[in-house]
Amino acid sequence: MDYVRVERENGVAVMTIDRQEKLNALDRQVVEEIGQSLLELEAEEPRAIVVTGAGERAFIAGADIRAMSVMDPIEAKRFSEIGHAAMALLDKGPVPTIAAVNGFALGGGCEVALACDVRIAAQNATFGFPEVGLGILPGMGGTQRLPRLIGPVLAKELIFTGRRIGADEARELGLVNRVVGQGEALSAAKELAAEISANGPLAVRHAKAAASRALDVDLVSGLEYEADQFALLFASEDAREGMTAFGERRKPKFEGR
């Protein structure tokens, strides 16, 4: 990988987009490397994945405008589809994903953050969708995920105006989970990942699947799916260990089985 590196520690994978000379901007190669890295991680079954950008200036400043400027419509659609596939691995993949956002998270960078389950922003983080100012629109899920996250009225305003917002406003809108000091987003994300990792990994994965399902189906169908996931876990060794440990007043030792 030229622009994406993955480090592993205590069951947590940290994926860093490192293209600092371009403020970690996304071109086709970077997006493909993100997707490939996530596919490899699925096979490894980490307990959580943290996504961040190298340096303090940018999480991901956006898509590479110079690379996009020479695309024809067919190339642009393919670029969007590759982006959708990579974002789906963050959003719908089995492992909880946490975005540690430092600096600019604009356009495609904001879309990467939105595809994660949890977003932690440093005080210097800036979010926005500037695409309409370029004569285009967000093409890696922004028009779909932002309305689902903060509601269509506020999402449309941000998308239509291209306005940038800071970390505190993003928190008020519900775009990020929490705001931490500048330079502290990655450490805070790792702490959260460790907290998640202490729980039963099968339980967390099934819980993510059930919670994600809520956005796609009606309540009755969602409840049926939840009941199925609930029942499946009772066949696991982790469930027996967790409930036995509770009765014995000790810390459970989960094996992911």
User: Which residues are marked as active site?
Assistant: 111, 131
**Among 10, 58, 19, residue whose Cα is nearest residue 185:** 58
Tokens for 87, please give them: 């974002």
Q: CA-to-CA distance for 154 and 203, rounded, in angstroms?
A: 34
Dihedral, CA atoms, 109, 115, 116, 122, nearest 10 degrees?
A: 30
Tell me if 106 sits within 8 A of 128, measured CB to CB. yes
Residues 6+ away with beta carbon under 8 Å from 176? 101, 113, 119, 120, 121, 125, 127, 167, 170
Per-residue burial over 230-245, b if 16 or more Cβ lie within 10 Å, else e, is eeebeebebbebbeee
Q: CA-to-CA distance for 127 and 66, rounded, in angstroms?
A: 21
Q: CA-to-CA distance for 132 and 120, rounded, in angstroms?
A: 26
